[in-house]
Structure 1
Amino acid sequence: MEYAKGSRHYEDEINSYATLEDLDDDLLNSYKEKIGAESIETSQVLRARGFLRQQGDKEYLTNAAVLLFAKNIMQFYSNCRVRFLRIDGRELQVGDKFNIIKDKSIDLPILRIIDEAKNYISDQLRVFITQDIKTGKFIETPEYPEFPWLEGIVNAVAHRDYSMTGCFIKISMYDDRLEIESPGCLPDVVTVNNIRETRF
């Protein structure tokens, strides 16, 4: 109920199992560079950003720190995954008509999962070549423009509910559409009926 009300955030809670040694130095150094903190000790940066918290006489990483920077994300969060399905046809079939022709899981920390998903999906998209009648030049047009589907993946990764175990982001490519599903409920006052006008 606290998650639903927005009074408690899973990402801010401590992870009592992960240690600083479980974090990826390359990701941490890249993050420090982006925020202009290259010369500052990593633990101090994590503390200042709320990724390292004191509880009793010990310091613990938060779930957010592990989701962002873990070397092996599956050790801690098996739900930090993007699963891509390529379906042959316009509907998913089962049994002897089973029509999934590609099934790829991308299991990486948040700071790597978007780029990996982008690279993989762009390789799956068809490119249509047409000739411009006026110029005679051939024009390549991707099956789907990159901006909307990449924005969909970014939103799915950024806004999904990581407290929901056993769930993952699913991207399904059919012959006529691309669907992106992200685990979680609509936030606070947003409903299916008011989603076009309501912000939260």
Structure 2
Amino acid sequence: MLATRSELLEKIRLGEDSFLEMKEVKFAGGKVRGPTQDGVANELAAFANSAGGVLLLGVEDTSRTVIGIELDKLDAVETVLREACEQSIKPPLAPIIERLTLPDAGGIEQPVIRVEVKRSLFVHQSPGGYLQRVGSSRRPIPPDQLARLFQQRSQSRLIRFDEMPVPGATLEPLCEDLWRRFVVSEGAAPREVALRKLAMAAQDDDGAWRPTVAGLLLGSERPQEFLPSAYIQAVAYQGTTVVPQGESAYQIDASDMTGPLDRQIHAACAFVRKNMQVAAFKQQHGGRVDMPQFSMRAVFEAITNAVAHRDYSIHGAKVRLRLFADRLEIYSPGMLPNTMDTESLVERQSARNEALASLLARCPMEDSSFAPYRNFIMDRRGEGVPIILRETLELGGKPAHYRMIDQSELLLVIPAANPEAQP
């Protein structure tokens, strides 16, 4: 959007509109006096809540004249931009910030800063509230329109979040080796058609083909470039509590699982297998039997459910896995869908991410240790939760249990088996 020099010069000549905001930068000593951090946040959030746009700093909007920014003050301006995006906008924005030069009235090249904001998957709040871009100005979003916008850009809308095209992403990140594994029948259909049938790509409001959230999560080697919170954070602790930082070696191991979701699932299972304790018992008639702290089948089902059913519309929230000496905790972002509660999980099914669940049900199982009971990553018969509960109880005699945290995160606690309690 307004990416070339000629496009920018032509837009400056025509003046501000729904896609361009121009600001002169003023200083008091070495500090930026205007625009303020809150003012910048309001402009950028309004673009994100609308169709996207460009904020051009170093251009006076009334006279449409390039003023420029002194070279030694560009860093200070960029700091204001960065802090506005990170501190004054909820959820934060990650715009494209570019330094370039444009000619002033005398033809002399002057440094300016171009900030490009894409139409967002989320609804953003800034110090001015929930704003949108209307022509050359920003306006508060009326309550009825705001309700519709939240519906369109959240889990509750008619088009599920995992089927939404990701703004700013092209089909290039989708790796053919990854998305082809979901194609049931080979044919001569164009790539876009095949991806659309899989709900891995869709056309946006402008008719451009873009990967969906589900498409990036299972069809890209690096989905985190566009969905930075779509990963598993795993930590193994030495004891039974999270010791405050600064005390002795309380973390045994820590790792972030990134990449396609199926790899994240396998990597998280490998993390648990690596860090859990395994006790060995001699059998009465010779030989020995190993007793792990956790049933890996239960762990696999739990991690799969966590990534398949989490709410990907919650910015900054990731799946968290915490391994303690006496339990495994798995945190999955989001409320339970529809009218479900923790008591009904074992009896009912409800998929928040229907496209994602469908793809995981076609995703081949690559971990040979799970192959005897599962050909594909996910089971669509609703047996995951019963398996978790049954396997955990049979192994250690203690039940696994779910609970909601602040109505925004689902926690599963799997007790560790106690070797000392075994005969």
Q: What band does the TM-score fall into relative to the shorter chain?
A: 0.7 to 0.9
Pairwise CA distance, 1:194: 5.3
Residue 201 of structure 2 is aligned to residue 23 of structure 1: no
Separation in structure 2 between the aligned mates of residue 51 and residue 139 of structure 1, nearest angstrom: 45
Q: Is the 8 A contact 2:167 2:210 kept in 1?
A: yes
Partner of 1:37: 186
SS at match of 1:101: strand
Partner of 2:259: 108
Residue 221 of structure 2 is aligned to residue 78 of structure 1: no
| AA of the residue aligned to 2:279 | F
Q: How does 1:160-171 map to 2 (within 5 A)?
A: 160-171=310-321
Change (3 A) 1:113 1:96: closer
For CA contacts below 8 A with separation 6 or more, give which structure has more relative contact order: 1
Q: How does 1:76-155 map to 2 (within 5 A)?
A: 76-97=226-247, 99-133=250-284, 135-155=285-305
Separation in structure 2 between the aligned mates of residue 36 and residue 124 of structure 1, nearest angstrom: 41
Pairwise CA distance, 1:195: 4.9
Partner of 1:9: 160
Q: What are the Cα deviations for residues 84-137 of structure 1, in whole angstroms up to 9, with x where unaligned?
A: 11111111121443622221111112232112222232222222111111x211
Does 95-104 or 178-187 show the bigger shift? 95-104
Change (3 A) 1:196 1:143: closer
Aligned residues: 197
SS at match of 1:128: strand
Pairwise CA distance, 1:196: 5.5
Q: Is the 8 A contact 1:114 1:153 kept in 2?
A: yes
Q: How does 1:56-67 map to 2 (within 5 A)?
A: 56-67=206-217
Pairwise CA distance, 1:164: 1.0
Q: Is the 8 A contact 1:80 1:109 kept in 2?
A: no
Q: Is the 8 A contact 2:170 2:209 kept in 1?
A: no
Which residue among 48, 51, 62 is the counterpart of 2:197? 48
Q: What are the Cα deviations for residues 122-158 of structure 1, in whole angstroms up to 9, with x where unaligned?
A: 222222111111x211112222111111110000010
Partner of 1:179: 329
Pairwise CA distance, 1:40: 4.9
Unmatched runs of 5 consecutive residues or more in structure 1: none
| AA of the residue aligned to 2:314 | M
Partner of 2:395: none
RMSD, aligned CA: 2.3
Change (3 A) 1:5 1:43: closer
SS at match of 2:273: helix
Pairwise CA distance, 1:51: 2.3
When the two structures are superposed, what TM-score results if normalisation uses the length of structure 1? 0.86
Separation in structure 2 between the aligned mates of residue 109 and residue 127 of structure 1, nearest angstrom: 29
| AA of the residue aligned to 1:45 | A
Q: Is the 8 A contact 2:155 2:311 kept in 1?
A: no
Separation in structure 2 between the aligned mates of residue 97 and residue 126 of structure 1, nearest angstrom: 23
Separation in structure 2 between the aligned mates of residue 9 and residue 49 of structure 1, nearest angstrom: 14
SS at match of 2:336: coil
Which of the pair has more CA radius of gyration? Answer: 2
When the two structures are superposed, what TM-score results if normalisation uses the length of structure 2? 0.43
Pairwise CA distance, 1:41: 4.4
Change (3 A) 1:47 1:8: closer
